[in-house]
Structure 1
Amino acid sequence: MNRLLPFFFALFLIGCKPEPTLEKRSFSPKQLEIIAEFGRMGKVAKLPVDSMEIYAVKMEQLTKGQPDDFLAMSAIARGDFSMNKGQYELGKKSFESALRLTKNSKADTLYARALTGIGNYYKNAGDNPKALQYLLSGLKIFEAKKERRGIAFGNSCIGQVYMQKDDPKVAKEHLKKAMDVYRNQKWQHSYLSSAHTLANIHGMNNEFDEALAIDNDGIRICDSANLPKMKVSFLDNKAMCYLYSNRLDSADHYFRETLKLDMVIGDEKQIADSYSNLARLERMKGNFVASEKYALQSVDILKRVHNNNNLVKVYSVLSELYEAWGKPVKALEAEKKYVELYRVLMNEKREEAMAEFKIVHETEKKEKIIAQNHIELLQKENEVRDRNNLIIFISLVAVSIALIGLLIYRQQRLRNRQLAQEHELKTAIAQIETQNKLQEQRLDISRDLHDNIGAQLTFIISSVDNLRYAFDLKDTKLERKLDSINNFTKATIIELRDTIWAMNHSEISLEDLRVRVFNFIEKAKDVKENIDFKFHIDKELDSMRFSSVAGMNLYRTIQEAVNNAIKYSDASRIGIFIECEKDDLSLRIEDDGRGFEPESVEKGNGLHNMKKRVEALGGSFDLKASHGNGTHILVRIPEICKRKS
């Protein structure tokens, strides 16, 4: 009679909108995707249970590395799948995981859904006190949040627990509360499922008129909302009421109406159930031939769909039929099949339970290993951090001692020079003052060394510029040397920024690379205004991502190739093209410069480094050049376009 409960449980757990369950805050694109997927799970619940397993795996993959609230969504999806597949221990473990993840969270309704999942586990296990403990705790949160679906489902489940406790009065109260939530939307599954359960309770307590009134209302609602699967449950319930109230002609009519609708829907299990009910009815009417016909039809269908749980019930019906018919041999034969199949079912359930407990045990072992590895990793990180701090401290002390020694030495040398050259006192004093100012600058630099390398390099540029303006160098060798240091330091800062940019990202998108290359080209244009740069990336590659090392190697290859073209080729056009050729990523850097003969030119560090970087990406580096025909570099990285998600 309870055809709706598993289906309604799935719809509840994954049918609520996820947004109200999370603390209001900004979400990353990845988190928005997870929320959207979680909201889509209500549709998945209507599909076969295997689809739910695929969905649970997808949620686990999406939520890796995410905050606890999102991991709880994944755990709820996994728990729902396990419960609907009959793996109750695994389901309970998943809901307990969701409970831990949301214990200190503001995602109250996620926490309540985990409580409800555990409560249903205990309801199925027959532990009514624990079932009520968890279900009532979840219901309290749903009521505080005014979450209608949760309120309806919580009351419905509590009503079922009291029905198990043989307390129909309290069961009816909670079921009526569940129905009251959707009194203006009676087509909702929450209302119809609660109404169906309430009709069952009335029927079990021989309150057939009350049960039939609810069933008639349910049939009318299902007809108006075009819900044939829901309607067939109420028809079946109505037929049962007539059967147990000994109104057999009416029972016959509604069992046949149920069978007709089952055949339209095409659910063979339910068709077999209807044949089994008709067999029981015909036996009660004394029509043994018809009863046998329906029972055997049910057996044939259940064998075909491999539903042993219902098949064992039909053998019991056959055994009772043959006994009433006065055919003891056939009755014994049916009873024997019943016993054999019952033993098979018990063995299967025992094996499934053992397998389930094994999975739970292995999962707990893996979790302990992961936790232990995490602790060891933290310990190693602390050791490395302490060692690095010690090295930094020793380095700072050594530099300080060296600078102090240098200061003392220079001060002593200046003092000796002052005593030996008294006739140049004024000049010596001026020199000493200048040296003191320079020394103060050096001391300032030494204090800032520990901050970061970028600050040091920036200060070097500032110091070089101060020297240039302090002395009239007028195109001297010293001035050219200072320009070289300045340019080298600026280039080093750019290189350092590029490296820091790469280090600050776990992965680099091709869009990030596009921006970086554009900035580099703009700076190159300032150096060579007469060169026409062309840079093209296939739009289909915008979503492609690399690791930070791979992205940096690709950028350095482009940078080195363009620098070589600017310095040596005397080119008027330089082109950079990135695109997919089948499954391979193709990078072309071309110029129309003077070219060269690769065989006659000794390869320097630049070409060697480009080749090494490409090989590190698992790609190939092909250089084609000749006098008068420019230079063409082709980099090909295989199979990477397959992974451009």
Structure 2
Amino acid sequence: MSKLNVFFFLFIIIACKNNNEKSKWQQADYYLKKINSDTIRETEKVKYIDTLYNNLINSKNDSINRNLLFDVVREYFKIDHNETYLKTTRELLELSVAKKDTSHIAKSLCFIGDYYENSSKIDSAFEYYSKAEKLYKKINDSLNIGRLTLYKAGILYDAGIYTESEIETAKALKILIKSNHERLIYEGYNLMAITLEELNNYKTSLKYFNMALDQLDKMELNNYPKNKIFQSKASVYNNIGRVYEKTQNYQAAINLYNKGLQTQNLKQDYPKLYAMLLNNLAYSKMKIGNYTNVDNLFSEALKIRDSLQITAGIISSKVSIGEYYLQKKDTLKSLKFFKEGFALAKKIKSSYDVKNTLKLLSENDIQNKDYYSKLYIKISDSLQNIERTTRNKFARIAYETEQVEEHNEILSKKNKYILTSSVIGILFLSFLFIVYRLKIKNKELLFIQEQQESNEKIYQLMMKQQQLNETVRNDERNRIAMELHDGIINRIFTTRFNLMQLQPEQVEKKEQLVNELINAEAEIRKVSHDLQQNLFFKDNSFQEAITNLVETQQNEFHTEFGLSIDKYIDWSLITSESKIHIYRIIQEALHNVNKYSKAEKCFVFILKTGDKITIRISDNGIGFNPDKIKLGIGLKNMKQRTKSLNGTFKINSDNEETTIEVIF
């Protein structure tokens, strides 16, 4: 095959591959656009997601498909189909493990961690995030290491383990600042700030909140979506306000809450944050004795939280309203709201809110003070035990993850030792096998050399035959030229001269001259016919060689041999090297028929279909099983010669017929 052909063949393969990949992306992009359309109904969205997932999960397990599957699985998460999300993510994990794709295994584990965090199973979420983090460390993916460290820090914060959360957040920020991921850096600053707030380190907390605001300003300059920037800033203003509340700087808190409430479209786009700011503004105003519109602010915040079914927010509103009525000296209403808050806190098992509402009830419900006080002490002790247990649980998860990693390293070292020993043994056996194969190879090379010498002889014979044919053709051309010159041209000249001298009244002479022209025409036709016959048989030396090969076949089974060659094949377009391959393939096939087939008949067909030539050798002998029989040198050579022709080689055989077919 020429270099140009090889290049073209590779180009076609790459182009087909690229087209397939492009087709996958286009199909997935079409479905994802449908899924994320604002006009689509929930049921239709689920159908589109299911269809796209099934198409991809039943396709080839390659990195392109898995990347698309991650996008589809994420859509299940967005529409809160949590169990389907977990099931499909686990299937995606199995596909990634099958291909030993560390990056995709880690990503699958991270997705499973997201499921457990969303389901408030924070210990399981912490475990899966830790496993994913270890894998990302193996491949030095610093961005995802930082991301997962930050996620773990957030879980520790939610669990009330603030000191460990501060440590993990510091680790995450150290990595994320180097990666320059703007959003994650902001989230790291914000998490560090609220963690330090819980640790009563208010001064440093404010420092990190301001760093978070500066980071949001940078993101705004880099064209980060403005609505998300405004929402994040409003959230930071609220958090800073909470710090000022705890330090009893209520006026500064009020200013920040008002600043947050001025955010464009906050109520419509982020009602949860809007209600939080309203409630906190009312609380700070109450604390400085400014009751103007406070009850309306509290009521509106509670109404929004109730409509959104934000139970934690409802508890916060009820406690704040209870404190408002307490400050207004309306103890009955105050206790009513505290008790409602306590009941909801128990319902959602919010340790912080249960403890807070019990403390308020024990301090203000004179009649039931002893009951609430004892319950408060009991729950405080229980919460301390739970906090200690939780702290130990997360420490154990982290330790066990490390232990698994160390165990894997030990196993890896053992496997390396076993592998090294196996490789040495295999190399020794391979050496012995190579020596044995070299001996066989030498025999094969001698055989191939003999074949090449035979090919050369055949080629020389074909060249001689072609030279003889050319000589015959030249002789024939010379003969025709002489016939034209000596016979026809002289006759026409004489006739023309006589016609010029002819008188009108010489009728008989005219008829003689006309007959002379008719004879000249017949002679021209004969010469033309001879010339066409000569052209038709041009370059038929190879065809004659094949014909001679088939017609001279004989064997002890008295097989009848036949040949059919398509007359439309232009043999001049086929190289001498290719002709030798064709001759040898037919020769070897006929040799096998003579030796093994016991056939009554054998036919050789050489056909032209479009731009392809088909060589088909069929016999009605005893046949053989191509899958079970060991290929001999002859069949191997036929396959190799077919490969040299850039063709395809097929053998079909049963008890009644054997057909060998070469198409090139």
Match for residue 73 of structure 1 among 104, 107, 120: 107
1:244 maps to 2:276? no
Report how far residue 383 of structure 1 moved: 2.8
3-state SS in 2 of match to 1:568? coil
CA RMSD of aligned residues (A): 4.9
Counting only pairs closer than 5 Å after superposition, residues 590-605 of structure 1 correspond to structure 2 as: none
Matched letter for residue 275 of structure 2: V
Report how far residue 293 of structure 1 moved: 1.7
1:166 maps to 2:202? yes
1:336 maps to 2:336? no
483 and 315 in structure 1: CA distance in 2 versus 1, 3 angstrom threshold: same
Matched letter for residue 568 of structure 1: E
Partner residue in 2 for 1:200? 242
Match for residue 37 of structure 1 among 70, 76, 95: 70
The worse-fitting range, judged by mean Cα deviation, of 128-137 and 284-293 is 128-137
Q: Deviations over 1:286-334 (max 9, x none)?
A: 21111222222223333444445422322222111114xxx3xx11111
Matched letter for residue 33 of structure 1: R
Q: Distance in 2 between matches of 1:367 and 1:481?
A: 64
Report how far residue 220 of structure 1 moved: 3.9
Partner residue in 2 for 1:320? 363
Report how far residue 194 of structure 1 moved: 2.0
3-state SS in 1 of match to 2:248? coil
3-state SS in 2 of match to 1:137? helix
Q: Distance in 2 between matches of 1:486 and 1:107?
A: 64
Counting only pairs closer than 5 Å after superposition, residues 249-398 of structure 1 correspond to structure 2 as: 250-323=293-366, 327=367, 330-353=368-391, 355-356=393-394, 359-360=397-398, 362-397=400-435
Partner residue in 1 for 2:143? 109
Contact kept? 1:186, 1:192, Cα under 8 Å: no
Matched letter for residue 211 of structure 2: H
91 and 125 in structure 1: CA distance in 2 versus 1, 3 angstrom threshold: farther
36 and 194 in structure 1: CA distance in 2 versus 1, 3 angstrom threshold: farther
Rg bigger for which structure?
2
Counting only pairs closer than 5 Å after superposition, residues 450-599 of structure 1 correspond to structure 2 as: 462=448, 465-466=451-452, 469=455, 475=553, 483=588, 526=616, 563=652, 568=656
Q: Distance in 2 between matches of 1:73 and 1:312?
A: 38
Report how far residue 235 of structure 1 moved: 1.6
Match for residue 210 of structure 1 among 237, 252, 255: 252
Q: Distance in 1 between matches of 2:408 and 2:614?
A: 50
Matched letter for residue 257 of structure 1: E
Matched letter for residue 226 of structure 1: D
Report how far residue 234 of structure 1 moved: 1.2
72 and 183 in structure 1: CA distance in 2 versus 1, 3 angstrom threshold: same
Contact kept? 2:96, 2:102, Cα under 8 Å: no
Contact kept? 2:190, 2:209, Cα under 8 Å: no
Contact kept? 2:154, 2:165, Cα under 8 Å: no
3-state SS in 2 of match to 1:253? helix
Q: Deviations over 1:191-230 (max 9, x none)?
A: 3332221222233333333322332333343546522122
Q: Distance in 2 between matches of 1:135 and 1:292?
A: 44
Partner residue in 2 for 1:180? 217
357 and 349 in structure 1: CA distance in 2 versus 1, 3 angstrom threshold: same
1:445 maps to 2:456? no
Contact kept? 2:153, 2:164, Cα under 8 Å: no
Which ranges of structure 2 fall in alignment gaps of 5 or more residues?
Answer: 1-59, 459-548, 557-583, 594-611, 620-650, 660-664
Q: Distance in 2 between matches of 1:484 and 1:306?
A: 85
Report how far residue 261 of structure 1 moved: 0.6
Report how far residue 238 of structure 1 moved: 1.2
Q: Distance in 2 between matches of 1:485 and 1:48?
A: 68
Matched letter for residue 202 of structure 2: D
Contact kept? 1:72, 1:110, Cα under 8 Å: no
Match for residue 190 of structure 2 among 141, 156, 168: 156
Q: Give the TM-score taking structure 2 as reference length.
A: 0.51
Q: Distance in 2 between matches of 1:523 and 1:366?
A: 63
Matched length: 421
Counting only pairs closer than 5 Å after superposition, residues 140-155 of structure 1 correspond to structure 2 as: 140-142=177-179, 145=180, 147-155=181-189
Q: Distance in 1 between matches of 2:330 and 2:118?
A: 38
300 and 112 in structure 1: CA distance in 2 versus 1, 3 angstrom threshold: closer
Q: Distance in 2 between matches of 1:381 and 1:523?
A: 51
Contact kept? 1:38, 1:73, Cα under 8 Å: no
377 and 272 in structure 1: CA distance in 2 versus 1, 3 angstrom threshold: same
Match for residue 276 of structure 2 among 207, 217, 233: 233
Report how far residue 388 of structure 1 moved: 2.5
Matched letter for residue 77 of structure 2: V
342 and 477 in structure 1: CA distance in 2 versus 1, 3 angstrom threshold: farther
Q: Distance in 2 between matches of 1:50 and 1:349?
A: 29
Q: Deviations over 1:163-190 (max 9, x none)?
A: 4422155234313314424558254443
3-state SS in 2 of match to 1:206? coil
Report how far residue 242 of structure 1 moved: 1.9
3-state SS in 1 of match to 2:656? helix
Matched letter for residue 380 of structure 2: Y
Report how far residue 237 of structure 1 moved: 1.8
74 and 204 in structure 1: CA distance in 2 versus 1, 3 angstrom threshold: same
290 and 89 in structure 1: CA distance in 2 versus 1, 3 angstrom threshold: closer
Q: Distance in 2 between matches of 1:212 and 1:51?
A: 45
Q: Give the TM-score taking structure 1 as reference length.
A: 0.53
Q: Distance in 2 between matches of 1:111 and 1:35?
A: 23
3-state SS in 2 of match to 1:150? helix
Matched letter for residue 291 of structure 1: S
